[in-house]
Structure 1
């Protein structure tokens, strides 16, 4: 085809005595017998239907059948021959996607008057169904309606109607190549599997931590370990080994339990110490009040008896002040002689 067209061009230039053009074209050589375009001279077609249609069977007792695929293939081959004839240079049935489909390649051969003769060229627009893809979809829909299939949505027409009416046009979905779709789907499934695995691992870790917390609490309640996780004195005395395995000490559950029990023990200890301080302060206040009464009574005694009472009082005061934690660091009133009866 390419050589035939080139020979016809040279013959035409020679016939018209275009010597310079003839020499130039001989140097350039043959040209492609089609108009350069982004899509090239050939076209690919894919005929398919919804996968649910192919899964239909004649009887509910039959789980799998190829009758729908055979019916579809018969109609597809007939449609290709009817509209493209010998220009169909390749066609095959594919099962590599979710739905059964027919893949065909069209080489649109045409004959045009050129260089004073008939020349063969590749011209996609020679076929009306290639020139207008919506017409091709209408043709396929009508052709396959005999086996119960219906043409898909007329999205292009819906967009045109919306624009003509001043409405917002519907979103036109972007077609994705099967290889690209499979790659994205595999990536999505891999990410989902990794997420599930990560969640399962976290659940196992939380369960282990919960088991460590319960084991720690049981051991503390039984008096086998203290709130720091160390063996309790009673457990050492009884020869009872620590129930908390050493391996568990490295877990988050063990650390969390130890921290919680430490906080509780500290809070309870502080509360107990506060109550003890209040009780001691109250008792010391009562003793001081009684001491004041003794002083008042002693002032009425003779000098010798007052000195004896003062000596006894200093001894008692020293012992009493030793019981009061708040008196630590203060000067000893018993040594200074303050408050002695005179």
Structure 2
């Protein structure tokens, strides 16, 4: 049965000459992301270049700068630009490449899924050597075929999850400047650096002989989707292993921090609940009043909870005291309102009786001779005196006149 076709993975990363030091530190496992390194496995193996490749590359770049600088000064001298010569001498040599966000060099990674290297099932391709050896041989041949002497370094990493090859490309080119040929670094001199899809086609075809396949054709999928009026798929973003691991570690740290925060909040709420309960028990036992102060009549006993100064300064104590104060205020307000309602009902009842009696007196008085009305009016004034004793505010609320009138007259 044919084995699963795994894709060959090719990735380019921009590189500046200033990055060479960090690259070398990681190659010797002295710097960079080392958390995933298996110290029990063999260290990286050099495939292309010498052990001194980094110093050689830096020296060559420095020579390019000096050669170009000398050519520039000679050109200015021929044109008798004396002021410009002095200014450029002060500024010094310039980098022999055009500034860009990617840098003038490229780091290249070649690998496949670790399952492919571990695969032992029968497949379409018969192997007489190990997968790593076969992959390594094809990788070195492809690098030399496509980039020639511009591959100034390549190594095999054996101590990580999956075997992979790192390579450094220094794209040398010659351009006409200052009336002469000047050496520069120019990534676009290599078609496979200039065209990502072409690079994927090339490496896919090269490694197909050992059972690997080209990766997904993302650009073609985008073109097809646009031609069909569909939403194009998102372009893949290659994330360096170190960046991916850092992101995962950051996520884990955030989860742990969130869990710790939740646990601390639960613990604080439990402490506050204990303090609130202690406050309530102390109030119920008569140990403290609604303000949290020791009650004047309290007699401390084993049954009366004692609140320490620490508890009295706690958030739970403050919450309980505020809630208790509000509850007492509401209870007192309800009691006062009930008392006022009862008082008003009694006054209304009494006033009604007085008014009923007064109405009878007025009716009787209207039927008596003039001489008797004076005596009736005197009796009425005595009965009305109870109404007159009420304060004006109360009489107003009850709908009574502030000053009476003598209707019997």
2: CA distance, partners of 1:125 / 1:170: 27
Q: Secondary structure at the match of 2:299?
A: helix
1: CA distance, partners of 2:283 / 2:157: 69
Partner of 2:284: 221
1: CA distance, partners of 2:314 / 2:191: 74
2:218 to 152, 155, 160: 155
**1:134-162 CA deviation, whole Å, 9 max, x = no partner?**
23323433455566654332112222333
Partner of 1:78: 138
Q: Secondary structure at the match of 1:227?
A: coil
Q: Tell me the number of residue pairs that the alignment of Structure 1 and Structure 2 aligns.
A: 260
Q: Which structure 2 segments of 5+ residues have no match?
A: 1-59, 68-73, 80-84, 86-93, 122-129, 175-182, 356-385, 395-409
Distance of aligned partners of 1:93 and 1:201 in 2 relative to their CA distance in 1, 3 Å threshold = farther
Distance of aligned partners of 1:232 and 1:109 in 2 relative to their CA distance in 1, 3 Å threshold = closer
2:265 to 196, 202, 222: 202
1: CA distance, partners of 2:333 / 2:161: 70
2: CA distance, partners of 1:148 / 1:218: 79
Instruction: Give the superposed CA RMSD.
Output: 5.3
Structure-to-structure mapping, 1:1-342, within 5 angstroms: 38=100, 42-50=105-113, 53=115, 71-72=131-132, 74-84=134-144, 87=149, 88-94=151-157, 101-107=164-170, 129-130=192-193, 132-144=195-207, 149-175=212-238, 194-236=257-299, 242-279=305-342
Larger relative contact order (C-alpha < 8 A, sep ≥ 6)?
A: 2
1:256 positional shift: 1.2
Partner of 1:308: none
Distance of aligned partners of 1:98 and 1:222 in 2 relative to their CA distance in 1, 3 Å threshold = farther
1: CA distance, partners of 2:117 / 2:141: 26
Structure possessing the higher radius of gyration over alpha carbons: 1
2: CA distance, partners of 1:232 / 1:148: 89
**1:162-216 CA deviation, whole Å, 9 max, x = no partner?**
3444544333244456666666666666655555444443333222222211222
Contact 1:217 1:257 in 2 (8 A): yes
Q: Which structure 1 segments of 5+ residues have no match?
A: 7-19, 60-69, 112-119, 293-316, 328-342
Contact 1:224 1:240 in 2 (8 A): no
Distance of aligned partners of 1:258 and 1:35 in 2 relative to their CA distance in 1, 3 Å threshold = closer
> Higher helix share goes to which structure?
1
2: CA distance, partners of 1:55 / 1:266: 79
Q: TM-score, normalised by structure 2?
A: 0.46
Contact 2:107 2:166 in 1 (8 A): yes
